[in-house]
């Protein structure tokens, strides 16, 4: 049997109960009892004022009607805006603004216009972390719109689609998930992070219908259906549909991204090195399979 | 009793070794931030990859990199949007209003007092600001029943006026080639 203090303490510990949530005590000072200090501010009334209702009356909680069925509980709940804070938002960009961007050389109409080129103007912003999912092209200035563009937006009305197609251009609506958007909003910053270009995710179930609808020019729709709908829309709005097959900019107007691609010409999985001006392409079979569309 | 003594013996050794290590070798380290964490060096990348330097692919990278400066205005005969580039020959005019770096007219609407007070704000005025004020007043006064209230800051080159006259001022400045 040992005789040192440490041995005695260890011996004692064997017979003591284990420390657990049931028998530990709060840290000293952890629990503070709310006390109304009698002489705290020279013995005044602690915010209750002098005499009368302030000191003596019982102020009931908000909405309480002394035993009546309260007004705020009297009617059934009608949650019109339930989940509105979770819905996808598309900050607007008008056709008039787009026209201005093209005319003042902020956007190059000789290349396909997408979210990246609109963000690169510095005149339009989106915040993916605030549930903003891209551009909503609005119809302001639709009558004056005269730019032949190949534009890809995230949301567009029928009138907008008609005015873009009337001007001889093409429009696509495409979905980007938040990680892809984060890469697109500042490409330089993204490439400097040195991570592979993400593959674009498929739209969520409530958006897949929109993005595979040829009337909405969805990027997942059948191209033949889209060309049919182009003609239908031109007849509805009463304009002669420009023939893009015979257009000299046919390759520009028909350039489309792969559904898994977020940048034109750059495959997901590639790492762009801006310093050495090189592109690293993965060779592993599993990575190739992961990034394939 | 023998097990008890054995336990005491081993615990003594354990305590001694712990004590030794704690007193001399253990230095608390806690990486609680980006800047005081150690630098990641010699990362072992297991994935095989190919380093390419093809100008064809790089063309697409350059296409999506944001431009460092605001692009020059193109030579264009007709503007369909309401944009009008600034005219030339301002040398002999008594005052001058420079365009912004985005080639726009520096006239803005400031809304104050939670949307109650509207102020039109003209910036970047050079030269005879008082003459500009008189001419603007002559143009804008018919639009308002009350006399226009204008605040001319000659030093800062700004005119602030009460009321929303932004589109009218922009129109007037475009008419006068500014």
Distance from CA of B17 to the nearest CA of A (A): 14
Q: What is the mean pLDDT of residues B87-100?
A: 92
Show the low-confidence residues of chain A (pLDDT under 50): none
**Is A117's CB within 8 Å of B50's CB?**
no
Task: Considering only the beta carbons, identify the residue of B66, B71, B76 that sits closest to A188.
Answer: B66
Nearest to A115 by CA among A67, A156, A72: A156
**Is B15's CB within 8 Å of A6's CB?**
yes
* Contact present, A152 and A228 (Cβ < 8 Å): no
pLDDT of res. B47: 82
pLDDT of res. B148: 94
**Is A191's CB within 8 Å of B61's CB?**
yes
Task: Starting at the earlier edge strand, list the strands of the sheet with A155-156.
Answer: A92-94, A136-138, A155-156
Would an 8 Å CB–CB cutoff place A281 in contact with chain B?
Answer: yes
Q: How far apart are the first and last CA of chain B?
A: 104
Would an 8 Å CB–CB cutoff place B42 in contact with chain A?
Answer: no
Hey, how many other C-beta atoms are within 10 angstroms of the C-beta on A88? 15
User: For B4, which residue in chain A has the nearest alpha carbon?
Assistant: A1
Question: Within a 13 Å sphere around the CA of A166, how many CA atoms are in the beta-carbon half?
Answer: 18
The dihedrals phi and psi of A140, each to the nearest 5 degrees, come to: -65, 125
Give the integer Cα–Cα distance in Å for A258 and A244. Answer: 21
Would an 8 Å CB–CB cutoff place A192 in contact with chain B?
Answer: no
Distance from CA of B114 to the nearest CA of A (A): 23
Q: Which residues of A touch B9 (CB under 8 A)?
A: 2
Q: Return the structure tokens found at A241.
A: 């549909």
**Is B103's CB within 8 Å of A1's CB?**
no
Distance from CA of A104 to the nearest CA of B (A): 6
The maximal CA–CA distance of chain B, rounded, in angstroms, is 112
pLDDT of res. A119: 96
Distance from CA of B110 to the nearest CA of A (A): 19
CA distances from A246 to A68, A71, A146, A243 (A): 76, 68, 19, 6
Distance from CA of B133 to the nearest CA of A (A): 30
pLDDT of res. B14: 62
pLDDT of res. B37: 72
Q: Return the structure tokens found at A41.
A: 């501010």
Q: Which residues of A touch B48 (CB under 8 A)?
A: 282-284
| CATH domain A86-265 topology | Ribosomal Protein L15; Chain: K; domain 2 (3.100.10)
Strand locations in B25-84 (E): 49-52
Interface confidence (ipTM) of the complex: 0.75
Would an 8 Å CB–CB cutoff place B4 in contact with chain A?
Answer: yes
**Is A103's CB within 8 Å of B51's CB?**
no
Give the integer Cα–Cα distance in Å for B172 and B176. Answer: 6
Contacts 24+ apart (CB under 8 A), B101-104: B101/B70, B102/A104, B102/A123, B102/B70, B103/A104, B103/B70, B103/B73
Would an 8 Å CB–CB cutoff place B73 in contact with chain A?
Answer: yes
Higher pLDDT pick, B61 / B16: B61
Domain coordinates in residue numbering, chain B: 95-175
Give the integer Cα–Cα distance in Å for A228 and A233. Answer: 9
Averaged pLDDT score across all residues of chain B = 86
CA distances from A280 to A26, A265, A286, A289 (A): 56, 14, 16, 16
Q: What is the mean pLDDT of residues B112-124?
A: 95
Q: Given this structure, which CATH class describes domain B95-175?
A: alpha beta
**Is B15's CB within 8 Å of A278's CB?**
no
The dihedrals phi and psi of B10, each to the nearest 5 degrees, come to: -60, -40
Q: Which residues of B touch A269 (CB under 8 A)?
A: none
Q: Return the structure tokens found at A219.
A: 């990027």
Would an 8 Å CB–CB cutoff place A140 in contact with chain B?
Answer: no
Give B28-39 pLDDT, tens digit per residue.
Answer: 566 677 777 767
Q: Which residues of B touch A146 (CB under 8 A)?
A: 80
**Which residues lie closer than 8 Å to A146 by C-beta, 6 or more apart?**
A99, A167, B80
pLDDT of res. A251: 92
pLDDT of res. B46: 78
Distance from CA of B146 to the nearest CA of A (A): 33
pLDDT surpasses 60 at B22: no
Give B97-108 pLDDT, tens digit per residue.
Answer: 999 999 999 999
């Amino acid at each position: 049997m040992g005789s040192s203090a440490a041995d005695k303490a260890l011996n004692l510990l064997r017979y003591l109960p284990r420390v657990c949530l049931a028998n530990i005590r709060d840290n000293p000072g952890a629990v503070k009892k709310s006390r109304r200090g009698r002489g705290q501010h020279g013995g005044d009334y602690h915010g209750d004022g002098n005499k009368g209702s302030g000191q003596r009356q019982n102020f009931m909680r908000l909405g309480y009607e002394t035993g009546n069925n309260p007004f705020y509980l009297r009617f059934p709940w009608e949650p019109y805006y339930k989940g509105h804070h979770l819905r996808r938002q598309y900050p607007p960009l008008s056709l008039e603004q787009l026209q201005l961007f093209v005319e003042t050389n902020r956007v190059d109409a000789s290349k396909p216009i997408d979210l990246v080129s609109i963000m690169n103007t510095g005149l339009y912003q989106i915040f993916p972390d605030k549930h903003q999912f891209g551009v909503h092209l609005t119809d302001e200035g639709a009558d004056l719109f005269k730019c032949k563009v190949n534009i890809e937006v995230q949301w567009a009305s029928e009138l907008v689609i008609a005015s873009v197609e009337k001007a001889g251009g093409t429009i696509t609506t495409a979905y980007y998930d938040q990680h892809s958007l984060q890469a697109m909003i500042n490409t330089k910053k993204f490439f400097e992070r040195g991570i592979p270009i993400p593959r674009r995710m498929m739209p969520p179930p409530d958006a897949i219908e929109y993005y595979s609808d040829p009337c909405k020019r969805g990027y997942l729709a059948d191209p033949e259906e889209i060309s049919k709908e182009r003609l239908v829309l031109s007849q509805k709005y009463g304009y002669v549909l420009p023939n893009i097959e015979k257009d000299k900019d046919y390759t520009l107007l028909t350039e489309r991204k792969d559904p898994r691609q977020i940048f034109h010409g750059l495959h997901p999985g590639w790492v762009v090195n801006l310093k050495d001006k090189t592109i690293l392409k993965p060779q592993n079979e599993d990575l190739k399979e992961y990034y394939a569309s | 009793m023998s097990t008890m003594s054995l336990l005491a013996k081993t615990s003594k050794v354990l305590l001694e070794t712990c004590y030794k290590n704690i007193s001399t070798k253990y230095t608390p380290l806690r990486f609680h931030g980006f800047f005081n964490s150690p630098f990641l060096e010699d990362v072992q990348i297991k994935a095989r990859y190919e380093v390419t330097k093809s100008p064809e692919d790089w063309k697409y990278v350059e296409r999506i990199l944001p431009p460092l400066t605001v692009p020059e205005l193109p030579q264009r005969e007709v503007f369909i949007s309401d944009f009008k580039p600034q005219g030339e020959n301002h040398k002999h005019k008594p005052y001058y209003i420079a365009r912004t770096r985005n080639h726009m007219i520096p006239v803005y609407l400031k809304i104050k007092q939670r949307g109650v007070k509207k102020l039109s704000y003209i910036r970047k005025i050079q030269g005879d600001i008082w003459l500009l004020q008189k001419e603007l007043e002559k143009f804008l006064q018919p639009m308002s029943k009350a006399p226009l209230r204008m605040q001319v800051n000659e030093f800062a080159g700004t005119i602030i006026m009460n009321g929303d006259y932004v589109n009218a001022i922009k129109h007037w400045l475009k008419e006068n080639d500014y």
